[in-house]
């Protein structure tokens, strides 16, 4: 690469890393909502949309065909009583800070990038970790009368990890009406160009 192109590429990277004022954004979340700031363990993170009109999905996020099983299209409602939500509702939950947003994917996926403010409770560990969500152990398993509001997600409409976790939670006594399912998951979150962090 010629030196002038290298300098230009480095300059563009530096500019991309600079903070952008909300009133300077070209691509907002909604007409009235340019950004959302959420509290994370590492401090506040501002979620915004990708501003590069030439940005494209790549790698696993651009794949449209996966073997089914196990990567089958998931239902809109993974269990009776559970509410399925979209990105705006998930942003409300993150911004409000009252619900626990759970990335139910395995740790390798979580560390590769997640939604700001999400905590990782892998789908295959959720049954043993309900105490982190307000449930108390009892003689029959769990008493979830004080369970917190939660929202679970995984890799997208073809990912069965969060639906599996939701069914385990309900079977253990977690109230379905306190569970939200973000079906779009990381694939749709990335498709919309929303902020992803590496924990």
State the Cα–Cα distance between residues 196 and 199, nearest whole angstrom: 10
Strands 150-153 and 100-103, by their bridges, are: parallel
Asked if 163 contacts 74 with a C-beta cutoff of 8 angstroms, the reply is yes
φ/ψ region of 5 (left if φ > 0, alpha if ψ in -120 to 50, else beta) reads alpha
60 half-sphere exposure, CB direction, 13 A CA radius: 10
144 half-sphere exposure, CB direction, 13 A CA radius: 23
Q: Which pLDDT score is estimated for 69?
A: 94
Question: Rounded mean pLDDT of the chain?
Answer: 90
CATH homologous superfamily for 28-191? Rhodanese-like domain (3.40.250.10)
Strands 141-143 and 83-85, by their bridges, are: unpaired
Q: Which pLDDT score is estimated for 152?
A: 98
| Extents of the domains making up the chain | 28-191
Give the closest residue to 41 by CA, choosing from 104, 114, 106.
114
Task: Name the active-site residue from 72, 135, 144, 154.
Answer: 154
Tell me the per-residue pLDDT of 134-167, one tens digit each, with 9 for 90 and over.
999 998 889 999 999 999 999 999 999 999 999 9
pLDDT-flagged residues of the chain (< 70): 1-23
Tell me the two tokens of residue 51.
């501003």
C-alpha torsion 40→44→48→51, nearest 10:
-120
Q: Which pLDDT score is estimated for 24?
A: 79
Q: Which pLDDT score is estimated for 44?
A: 96
Asked if 182 contacts 85 with a C-beta cutoff of 8 angstroms, the reply is yes
Asked if 161 contacts 72 with a C-beta cutoff of 8 angstroms, the reply is no
117 half-sphere exposure, CB direction, 13 A CA radius: 24
Question: Annotated catalytic, 154?
Answer: yes
């Amino acid at each position: 690469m010629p030196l002038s192109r290298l300098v230009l590429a480095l300059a563009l990277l530096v500019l991309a890393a600079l903070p952008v004022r909300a009133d300077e954004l070209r691509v907002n979340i909604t007409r009235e909502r340019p950004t959302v700031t959420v509290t994370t363990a590492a401090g506040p993170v501002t979620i915004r949309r990708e501003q590069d009109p030439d940005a494209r999905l790549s790698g696993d996020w651009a794949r449209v065909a996966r073997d089914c099983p196990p990567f089958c299209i998931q239902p809109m409602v993974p269990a009776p009583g559970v509410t399925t939500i979209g990105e705006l509702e998930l942003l409300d939950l993150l911004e409000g800070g009252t619900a626990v947003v759970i990335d139910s994917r395995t740790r390798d996926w979580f560390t590769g990038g997640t939604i700001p403010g999400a905590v990782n409770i892998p789908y295959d560990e959720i049954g043993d970790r309900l105490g982190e969500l307000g449930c108390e152990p009892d003689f029959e398993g769990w008493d979830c009368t004080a369970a917190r509001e939660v929202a679970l997600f995984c890799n997208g409409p073809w990912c069965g990890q969060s639906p599996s976790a939701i069914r385990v939670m309900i079977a253990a006594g977690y109230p379905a009406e306190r569970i939200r399912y973000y079906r779009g998951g990381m694939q749709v979150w990335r498709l919309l160009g929303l902020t992803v962090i590496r924990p």
